Structure 1
């Protein structure tokens, strides 16, 4: 056996494998569904990226949260919290200031849901369809789009895409309110913004090929957590196909 030749081939295979690993930026908005990132959605995103062999790097804006919610009572509480510091809880400390995100270093970007999207990454929670996106977040998403790199967003996060990509196709689940779909009116608002809303079940995702945008309902649906997890898995799989 020619061990030199074999060694070169193994190194070549290893190098190709390393090169093929997709680098994905994950943008968080705090820690906790009512005032930050929905933790189960963030965890599902990270698990599915890891399973696919992708390398995730988490980011969050270094700014004060809109407010702090007592997650036991579901009511505002005293005190102030920083979005980056809170997001670091989910990232186990491995997180960077969003201002340092270099779009050229990543193949794609993912934004999990949670009210932090509507309160810290934007002011949707206050202004609804007349909202604005945090300028730093808006520029990064526009840069990913201009570079032809895919974006994936779940739960309430697709509102961000609806703002920067007029006429895009997306989903936040169903557009008819029910016990299963309590936030369906969000779909109507997105339609008013000029988006094409596509009804999808919780275990599905929608792919807008033109805009390289993949969206999934996640916790916009009252569903068993394993179905939320599976739907996010579909979203990640479809996003990586575009990367």
Structure 2
């Protein structure tokens, strides 16, 4: 591990209903910075599943690119996920938002039978193979369940239907509350429910901070 932990942060667009959850994304970046780490943002270079008017909750019929939209959060400092190299980073983390289940994979539409963006899948598998820690917030743990399966332990909070779908993909689900983290020590996975629970922005900050702190604690172990 480098003296300053290097995080790869994978975003799924910009906005809770069709992309990355903005509070979770920004508070993850803040937590990394405040805990002495550095970060590089990534996103798939592909069209979103759809575009949602966040005022009305209705689909607009527009077409937008996940990488271009995610660049809003990253202030333009973002790369396509296909440019990710595990050698360059100590940890990988996925903020939530519906984009994690719509653009990084198709879990929102297809449930346990979902497909995964090839670049995202390659990044997760490469970090897992290298024995490096991976974090996921909100609904993003479903992505880890689909890619890694094989009994990995994650949390999405306490929603029974989603937990059942997680377990249908071969993972184990553990209930967690506000700011809580579930750690799979063997696989070095750290997950937190964040907005899968009715939450304040302060509680989201706690979840992001605790996830990042736990990931840093797993480095080198």
TM-score by length of 2: 0.96
Q: State the shift of 1:54 in Å.
A: 0.4
CA deviations on 1:174-224 (whole Å, 9 max, x unpaired) are 14xxxxxxxx42112112222211111111101100000000000000022
The residue matched to 2:52 in structure 1 has which SS? strand
Aligned equivalents of 1:81 and 1:193: distance in 2? 29
The residue matched to 1:76 in structure 2 has which SS? coil
How many residue pairs are counted as aligned between the two chains? 218
**Mapped contact 2:9–2:93 kept (Cα < 8 A):** yes
Partner of 1:69: 52
Aligned equivalents of 2:167 and 2:178: distance in 1? 20
TM-score by length of 1: 0.87
The residue matched to 1:201 in structure 2 has which SS? coil
Partner of 2:23: 40
Q: Based on CA coordinates, which of the two structures has the bigger radius of gyration?
A: 1
1:224 aligns with 2:194: no
**Mapped contact 2:44–2:117 kept (Cα < 8 A):** no
Structure 1, unaligned runs of 5 or more: 1-17, 176-183
Partner of 1:210: 186
Q: State the shift of 1:19 in Å.
A: 4.1
Alpha-carbon RMSD = 1.2
Aligned pairs for 1:7-22 (under 5 A) are 19-22=2-5
Q: Relative contact order, CA 8 A, sep 6+: which one is greater? A: 2
CA deviations on 1:109-157 (whole Å, 9 max, x unpaired) are 0000011111111111111111111111101100000000000001000
